[in-house]
């Protein structure tokens, strides 16, 4: 687990303290950190002065070599594909770095997200051996059919009753919509259209662009 220390001012008491952050984790080597990521406690700063707990979001890499995926939590203003930074060395040319990244994309799912919820969702999706691109398209279908207009977001998650989309409304997560596996399988048959997909930020905006492009062709 790579770590570094950042100065952080507690928003409750105003005191500045050193905050050790985890830059990334390889869960094959350190499986105990998976739970901390999945409940977001890895981003908690407990102020040593006043004891308040605050969520602090910072760049973070989750790596699961066994399941062959990496998910980077990044700032929303960062470039769409920051994975090149992982392979940058002083003596490596830009072309060489790009070649390494493109090779990685043939063997790994590489994703970038901008919130801890998205990070947890991607991990859950890849652990369930599902395609996040198909799920994002399915989400758009659910949102389009929402006559109430109350749904703010949908989040994939495993539940006691099987995989589902958790429905977020203004009051929080209110219910779970079971994943329609028949629809998922039908959409997955068209997955060849993603064969040359190189984007790493697969989210609602990506799904909207994909749907618009498909309808226009």
What are the boundaries of each domain within the chain? 1-127, 131-217
Q: By the 8 A CB rule, do 109 and 68 touch?
A: yes
pTM of the model: 0.85
**Phi then psi for 44, rounded to 5 degrees?**
-85, 130
Query: Under 8 Å CB-to-CB from 144, ≥6 apart: which residues?
Result: none
Dmax (CA) of the chain: 60
Instruction: Compute the C-alpha angle 138/110/185, nearest 5°.
Output: 30
| Percent of the chain's residues with pLDDT above 90 | 61
Q: What pLDDT shows up at residue 49?
A: 93
* 152-160 average pLDDT score: 96
Q: How confident is the model at residue 4 (pLDDT cuts 50, 70, 90)?
A: confident
* 75-91 average pLDDT score: 60
pLDDT exceeds cutoff 80 at 102 = no
CA distance 217 to 212: 9
Give the mean pLDDT of the chain. 86
């Amino acid at each position: 687990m790579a770590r570094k220390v950042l100065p952080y001012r507690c928003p409750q008491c105003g005191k500045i303290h050193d905050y050790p952050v985890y830059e990334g984790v390889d869960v094959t080597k350190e499986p105990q950190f998976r739970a901390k990521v999945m409940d977001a406690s890895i981003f908690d700063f407990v102020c040593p002065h006043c004891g308040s707990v605050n969520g602090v979001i910072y760049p973070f890499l989750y790596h699961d070599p066994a399941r062959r995926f990496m998910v980077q939590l990044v700032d929303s203003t960062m470039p769409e594909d920051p994975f090149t930074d992982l392979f940058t060395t002083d003596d490596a040319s830009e072309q060489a770095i790009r070649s390494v990244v493109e090779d990685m994309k043939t063997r790994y799912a590489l994703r970038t997200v901008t919130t801890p919820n998205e990070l947890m969702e991607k991990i859950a999706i890849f652990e369930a051996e599902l395609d996040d691109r198909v799920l994002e398209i399915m989400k758009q279908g659910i949102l389009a059919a929402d006559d109430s207009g109350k749904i703010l977001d949908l989040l994939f998650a495993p539940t006691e009753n099987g995989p589902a989309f958790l429905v977020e409304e203004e009051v929080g997560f209110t219910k779970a919509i079971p994943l329609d596996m028949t629809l998922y399988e039908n959409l997955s048959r068209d997955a060849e259209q993603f064969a040359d997909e190189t984007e790493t930020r697969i989210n609602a905006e990506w799904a909207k662009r994909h749907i618009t492009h498909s309808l226009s062709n």
